[in-house]
Each structure stands twice: as structure tokens, then as C-alpha cells.
Amino acid sequence: AGDADGADAPIAVELDGVSKRYGETAAVDDVSLRVREGEFFTLVGPSGCGKTTTLRLIAGFEESTSGTVRFGGESMAGVPPEDRDVGVVFQSYALFPHMTVGENVAYGLNFADPPEGTTRDERVADLLDLVDLPDATDRDPESLSGGQQQRIAMARALAPGPDVLLLDEPMSALDARLRERLRAQVKRIQSELGITTIYVTHDQEEALAVSDRVAVMNGGTPEQVAPPRTVYRRPATRFVAEFVGDNNVFAGGVVDIPEAGELAVDVDGGDETHRVAVGGDEEAEAEEATATQLPDIGDRIAFCVRPEHLRVASADKPAGGETGAPAGENALRATVASAEFLGETTRVTLDWGDRELLVRAVDPLDGAVTVGFDPSDAHVIDVESR
């Protein structure tokens, strides 16, 4: 419940305990995932976490060491890539330079017939319309920008009408601006066709921007599979909390449980003991078991607070003043170490005892500051029982 639309859609692709070993290395380690029909599903994680290998197992370019890949409930064991009804787009566009754009797309049809009542040329024209390059038929692929070439590669992959589209870092060779434009196009094309899409990227921002659900991978295994908003707001693990966006992770001991879902915590770090309140998030309470309900007094916990949820004020201004300065319980004293101006906001690094905190600020900040947060903006990611 609470997932993106289509939560009840049939399962298009399923990985059931899938592992892939290369000698001692488990590139993919006991992965179980279910991708729904029509879903935009993204595998995201740092280099070497097993994203590409997972995608290659789905495409059929690799055979798993153990476990089963199923399409529409059917095992794909021994089924070669060309019989899996998948379209694949790689990082390198791999268009044929000696063919026109139209010929490249037509090549994607292979020996498949165009849909009933359509000629090959009409099918090519439809696909070029779909990727928003209607006039490119006779062009030489090398005369197109990287983003345009990648859209042609998508048109070619979509030509035979595959059930599943697999995209492996299709934007990583492009500059930032082109990537943003192309990702919007990819998202539009995917939703226009309603095609099940599995997307691999190391770029967490891209993953959040385009996906219905995201699998955040680490060491060959997904640590969390959830819609982007959940992954961002309620990271399941410390790794997810730190990989997806900026975050501040705190650790400390639970000293009191004033009411259900709320904790009083003595946090480590800083120059003195700070007692902070954590939890009390209505949305989280609505979910069945939240991490804040698990600890006991005396347990050690870790929790995270996003930089945009840390409120900062100059230490010499009265607390609770016009600046929205933090007051009371959750007020930590820190010092501005550095600031990066990003346009809309400034990303400020604070020294807090022997560690750093990240905050977002609109107004310039300098010197001594106090930092506060709402208990409901603190999310517990780990509990270590006493």
C-alpha cells in the first residue's frame, strides 16, 4: 500500500534468489525483485554494486549461478536474449555509422514484421515521432548530438515492440544539461508506451527523478526497494541514507520514551551532550511498525536529518526570532566552515565538535550558529539493542 500507481499490476519480471559469481566475487548476491507491468524500475548504486550484471542477467547476456529470472511467471533459464522480447539500450549509442538514422531504426525491426496494416517505413516514421526526431530519417547518425543519438538508439530498441525495455546508463556519456533533457524524454516515451522499463544508473538524482520504484544496491544486493519519495524520506539503512542525497546521520543513546513514537536521545558528537527529540511523524506512525517504535531506553540508535530540515540561525540572534531560529530541545551549537552557493540555496558545511553537518541556507551565514530540527524530520535508520 502507498506505492506508486499500478501496485496491483501483474509482475512482468521477477528475480528469485538470483546470484552471479565470478570466481570469489559475488557480483549479484541472492537478489529477489519483482518489477510490475508498465513500471519504471531503477537499479541505482555506486560503481561495482552489481547493477549492470543484474541487468545483463535479465537481458540474458549472462546466465545466473543460482536462482531464477522469470518473465510473466515463466522461467527464462536457457532462453537466449533474442527470444526474451527485451529491447536494450547501452551507454554507448552503438548506432551503425554507415547507415542513415531511418536505416538504423529499421534494423531494429530485424526480421520482425511491423504491426498489422503498417509498412516498415511507417513504423520507422512512428518511432522517430515517438522520440521527437521526426525529420531525422535521412540523416547521418554522426551528425546528431549525443542525446539525439541516444533517442535513436531507443527508437531502434523499441522497433520490434518488446515487452520490456532495459536501459544501462544511457545518459552517462552526456553532459549534465543534456542528461536532464533526455531523462524527461525517456520518462515521457516510457509513459506514452506504458512499457515495463528497467533502468540502471549510478546517479541517485536521476533515479529519483524518473522512477516509479528504485532499488538501491550495495555489494550485489538491494538494501531498499521503494518509490523515490520513500527512499528519500525513509531510508531503510545508513547506506541508503548517505547514498541518496545529502544527509546528516546522528548516533546516540535513547534516554527516554516520552510517548509512543517519540524518543529522547543523547547524541554523540559536539562538545557537550545534546538531548534531542526524535520521531513523532504522523505519516510514519500510520505505517505499521516504525523504527521509532522499536527501541527501548538504553538502546543505541542512528537517525538521519536531511540538510533542508536543519534550521539554522546566527547564535547571537534570539532563539525563535524572525529567522525561524531553532529553540529548545533540538538546538545544537555549531560554526560555519564553508559554503557553496548553488543559486536557489547555499549548501553550508558546519563544524560541530569534531564532525561536520550539512545544512541548506537561503541567507548568508557566518560564525557561530545554532541548528535545530523538528522531531518529525528525524528518521531512525538503525537500532542496536542494549
> Which residues of this chain interact with ligand ATP, rule CB under 6 A?
22, 25, 27, 45, 47-53, 202
**From the CB of 224, what's the least distance to ligand ATP, in Å?**
16
Whose CA is closest to 301, among 350, 351, 241, 360? 241
Residue (25 or 118) nearer to ligand ATP, CB: 25
> In a 3-state reduction of DSSP, which class is residue 312?
strand
In whole angstroms, give the CA distance from residue 383 to residue 302: 7
In whole angstroms, give the CA distance from residue 249 to residue 380: 9
Residue 214: what residue type? V
Residue (46 or 353) nearer to ligand ATP, CB: 46
**From the CB of 55, what's the least distance to ligand ATP, in Å?**
8
Residue (23 or 367) nearer to ligand ATP, CB: 23
Residue (105 or 231) nearer to ligand ATP, CB: 231
Residue (225 or 350) nearer to ligand ATP, CB: 225
Cell representation of residue 286: 500510520
**From the CB of 58, what's the least distance to ligand ATP, in Å?**
12
In whole angstroms, give the CA distance from residue 350 to residue 340: 12
Pairing of strands 300-305, 274-279: unpaired
* Angle, alpha carbons 188-221-11 (nearest 5°): 50
**From the CB of 49, what's the least distance to ligand ATP, in Å?**
4
**From the CB of 181, what's the least distance to ligand ATP, in Å?**
22
Cell representation of residue 197: 522499463
Residue (47 or 110) nearer to ligand ATP, CB: 47
Whose CA is closest to 287, among 374, 223, 226, 197? 226
Residue (53 or 150) nearer to ligand ATP, CB: 53
> In a 3-state reduction of DSSP, which class is residue 371?
strand
> In a 3-state reduction of DSSP, which class is residue 95?
coil
**From the CB of 25, what's the least distance to ligand ATP, in Å?**
5
Residue (51 or 183) nearer to ligand ATP, CB: 51
Q: Terminus-to-terminus CA distance in the chain, angstroms?
A: 33
Alpha carbon 29 to its chain centroid, in Å, reads 19
**From the CB of 52, what's the least distance to ligand ATP, in Å?**
3
**From the CB of 10, what's the least distance to ligand ATP, in Å?**
27
DSSP result, 105-172:
HHHHHTTPPPSTT--HHHHHHHHHHHTT-TT-TTS-GGGS-HHHHHHHHHHHHHTT--SEEEEESTTT
